[in-house]
Amino acid sequence: MSSTVPLRPGDPVRVGDYEVTGRIGEGGQGSVFLARTPAGESVAIKVLRPGPAGQDTVGPGSPDRFLRETEILRRVAPFCTAQVVESGTADGRPYIVSEYIEGPTLQQVVDAEGPLRTTRLHRLAVGTLTALSAIHRAGVVHRDFKPSNVLLGRDGPRVIDFGIARVLDTSATGSGAIGTPPYMAPEQLEGGLVEPPADLFAWGSTMVFAATGRPPFGMDSLPAVVNRILHREPDLGDLQGDLGDLIADCLSKDPARRPAARDALLRLLGAQERPAGTDLLSAGSAVAAGATPPPSPPGETSAPSPPVETPAPASPGEIVTVPGAASAGRPGVVRLAAGAVALALLSGGVVYLLGRTGDAEGGGPASPSAGSVKAVAEVTAAPGPATSTTRLPGLKTTLHENPADPVRMSSFMYIGGQSTQSYERDPVSGRFTATGPLLEPAMSPDGRWTAMLPWLKDQTPQPYDFVRLVERASGREFVVRLTDKRLQNYNPQWSSDSRRLLLTTYDNSSGVRKPVGFAVVDVATTAVTPATLDAEGADGAPVMWAPGERTVALRYGRGPSAGLRFYDLRGRTVRTIPDVGEAYATENAISPAGKSFVTTCPDVYGSMCVWDTATGRRRSSFSVGKSFLTIGWFNDAYVMYQDTSKNPQQIIVADLKGRTARVLADIPASEDNGKPGTSVHRFTRR
């Protein structure tokens, strides 16, 4: 990539803010140029080729879709990859700006100098597996890994063009035979789902090319190559030993038999090249560059962007850690084009790679150890008037806020119509950022962490459920396994000190979601404490933190006989308050100081009742109409509920006599250009 040629007539002299200085190359997707930033730094810019009838190669309405699809590429951790800097459109043509790596491609080196041997080959294998691990952990599948997409830079190999094939797939289904045939996996040639195992197959083929000068299934006619890939065994030449065994495993016809990139990297590194205290990807980068991997600073660990790997089953509580892109401020999450949600979830980013608790790259997020829970002071101040309005991105929902509000909408998920997307909110700027479709985000009270849960559990291919913890400032991520797939976890709820995350565990095997327990994740250690409980009659209700947060509570029963049952953190029943109505809130039915809880009244239809937590006596009741949704508490003297009888619907703050104090949000009952949809909102207590 170091050699450039002068620009041709018609080549751009500027792309966005970048001055184009030369032409690097050209391919089926578009042209690549060398350019300078306003600060004088060199970058590579790929400008996509126009398609038939003047359409861009990324399909109808492509600029917006292209920008959505490429946003994830910027969040790949920069381990042995050419970091994506920016994406945009210029004169209607999409482009991608990436770090400029000076050096030839692997294809050029092997063609000119012959196969790589011994140490050079080993470093290439380690570096490219490190890159694939980072790419997969960012929710991306490369889909076109091959010798011409590996640059041999001065500091080791770098993988380029990751995820571009996905961006250019106009079907947006995650299927289709996109790639370079001699390096394509059987399932890719047959038009199946292209998942991380396909990248491992391409990696194995590329390593055979590096070691022998030819791909393992030949380079003659296309039908012959395809037939060998589908039906014949690979020709590995004289490759032997650990590397040869690993490559053979990666070239299995069965995707399930191929190792995940992380596991393959672990096999190559071994204990000799991975000193204690060094995270996996840093060690891989150091080995690829021919350096000694530096140990992590005391008390510091690294964490991943979300992976897209298919690992072997692991044990509850397993985690993976790898450095994320600090500039992102948010993790890499798969972003899918509308209309392909269920299928794309399988192929594009909700399969996560797990490591083992306590290994050298783990240790969990750095966070204060959990101590004794302090009593929460009761706050009863009336809400101040709204001082600002904020429109939710992509929707017509409008927030009415005051900086003194003790709660704030911190995330939302929209499901329906032509768009399905989740957003989280920066606690400082107040801006909302898309996190990916069908993810259930929950921000910690201190704003440091966001918990991410996949919403469609059955569409994720791994046999277990998980939660992803994202450190917002650094982009570090920790993926924590919760339960085996028969059980599913929803309703994330943070403790008031942001140190623990509570999730409700459901059994959905009968098609009806039934709570059977809960899990508590300790953020400091990423340890998971599961508990089973007697949830007879709970009927889909979520578990919630109880006063003091040493116990939890769960509604049981329906109608007038419904009650509230309290459990210790081992799942043992400690107390029951019967006949109080249905305590069901999207946040928490128990007030912040724990003195009261709210239910739908057992005896008056369309009313809310407030009860004393200590005695179980009714404190007040008031009418809110026949169509409402209980959200929770504004503070200890004001409740929040959503009036669903109007259009727009409203989130209302009311006192304990039912008097409206303020409207927090106006939510049109139909969003997305008039097509019906559902918005799921979450609030964070500040």
23 dihedral zone (left: phi>0; alpha: psi -120 to 50; beta): beta
pLDDT at 480 over 80: yes
Mean pLDDT, residues 612-635: 92
What is the reported pLDDT for 219?
Answer: 87
- C-alpha–C-alpha distance, residues 380 and 158, integer Å: 58
Q: What are φ and ψ of residue 487, in 5° steps?
A: -100, 145
Looking at 99, 134, 151, the residue that finishes a domain is 99
- C-alpha–C-alpha distance, residues 82 and 100, integer Å: 7
Mean pLDDT, residues 38-66: 62
- CATH number, domain of 78, equals 3.30.200.20
pLDDT at 504 over 70: yes
- C-alpha–C-alpha distance, residues 520 and 316, integer Å: 12
What is the reported pLDDT for 173?
Answer: 33
Mean pLDDT, residues 51-58: 41
Mean pLDDT, residues 103-114: 92
Mean pLDDT, residues 242-257: 94
For the packed helices 261-269 and 118-137, what is the interaxial angle rounded to 10 degrees? 150
**Is 144 one of the catalytic residues?**
yes
Residue 178: band (very low, low, confident or very high) from pLDDT cuts 50, 70, 90 = low
- C-alpha–C-alpha distance, residues 261 and 195, integer Å: 12
Give the contacts of 604 (CB within 8 A, at least 6 positions apart).
621, 623
What is the reported pLDDT for 678?
Answer: 66
Tens digits of per-residue pLDDT, 188-213? 887 777 889 999 999 999 999 999 99
- C-alpha–C-alpha distance, residues 199 and 179, integer Å: 11
CA atoms within 13 A on the CB side of 42: 14
Helix or strand holding residue 401 (H, E): strand 398-401
- C-alpha–C-alpha distance, residues 640 and 643, integer Å: 10
Assess if residue 620 is contained within a domain.
Answer: yes
Mean pLDDT, residues 608-629: 92
Helix or strand holding residue 389 (H, E): strand 388-391
What is the reported pLDDT for 122?
Answer: 93
Return the percentage of the chain with pLDDT > 70, whole number: 76
Cα 145-148-150 angle, rounded to 5 deg? 65
- C-alpha–C-alpha distance, residues 216 and 686, integer Å: 58
- CATH number, domain of 400, equals 2.120.10.30
Mean pLDDT, residues 228-239: 94
- Kindly give the pairing relationship between strand 319-322 and strand 150-153: unpaired
Assess if residue 52 is contained within a domain.
Answer: yes
Q: What are φ and ψ of residue 155, in 5° steps?
A: -100, 20
Location of structure tokens 């059955």: 458
Give the chain's domain count.
2
What is the reported pLDDT for 462?
Answer: 65
pLDDT at 477 over 80: no
Looking at 32, 65, 99, the residue that finishes a domain is 99
Assess if residue 147 is contained within a domain.
Answer: no
pTM, two decimals, is: 0.51
Tens digits of per-residue pLDDT, 640-667? 999 988 888 899 999 999 999 999 999 8
Residue 11: band (very low, low, confident or very high) from pLDDT cuts 50, 70, 90 = confident
Tens digits of per-residue pLDDT, 508-528? 877 778 899 999 999 988 889
Under 8 Å between Cβ of 57 and 44: no
Q: Which residue has the higher pLDDT, 68 or 373?
A: 68
Assess if residue 426 is contained within a domain.
Answer: yes
Under 8 Å between Cβ of 519 and 533: no
Q: Which domain holds residue 73?
A: 14-99
What is the reported pLDDT for 459?
Answer: 61
- C-alpha–C-alpha distance, residues 194 and 201, integer Å: 11
For the packed helices 261-269 and 196-212, what is the interaxial angle rounded to 10 degrees? 40
Under 8 Å between Cβ of 493 and 501: yes
- C-alpha–C-alpha distance, residues 150 and 209, integer Å: 12
**Strand, helix or coil at 108?**
helix
Looking at 31, 64, 99, the residue that finishes a domain is 99
Tens digits of per-residue pLDDT, 374-393? 567 889 999 999 999 999 98
DSSP state at residue 17: T
What is the reported pLDDT for 670?
Answer: 60
Rounded to 10 degrees, the C-alpha dihedral 430/433/437/441 comes to: -40
Residue 613: band (very low, low, confident or very high) from pLDDT cuts 50, 70, 90 = very high
E-only strand ranges, 417-572 = 421-425, 432-436, 439-443, 449-454, 464-471, 477-484, 487-494, 500-507, 514-522, 528-532, 544-545, 551-556, 563-568
What is the reported pLDDT for 318?
Answer: 32
What end-to-end distance do the CA atoms of the chain give, in Å? 50
pLDDT at 417 over 80: no
Mean pLDDT, residues 234-263: 94
Most confident among 239-253, 365-379, 477-491, 661-675 (mean pLDDT): 239-253
- Give me 214's structure tokens: 């030819």
- Give me 159's structure tokens: 């993988």
- C-alpha–C-alpha distance, residues 574 and 660, integer Å: 36
Under 8 Å between Cβ of 300 and 343: no
Mean pLDDT of the chain: 78
410: buried, middle or exposed (CB in 10 Å: 19+, 13-18, 0-12)? buried
Assess if residue 235 is contained within a domain.
Answer: no
Assess if residue 195 is contained within a domain.
Answer: no
Assess if residue 237 is contained within a domain.
Answer: no
pLDDT at 475 over 80: no
- C-alpha–C-alpha distance, residues 591 and 632, integer Å: 8
Catalytic residue among 11, 91, 144, 245: 144
Q: Which residue has the higher pLDDT, 299 or 95?
A: 95
For the packed helices 196-212 and 106-113, what is the interaxial angle rounded to 10 degrees? 20
**Strand, helix or coil at 147?**
helix
Assess if residue 287 is contained within a domain.
Answer: no
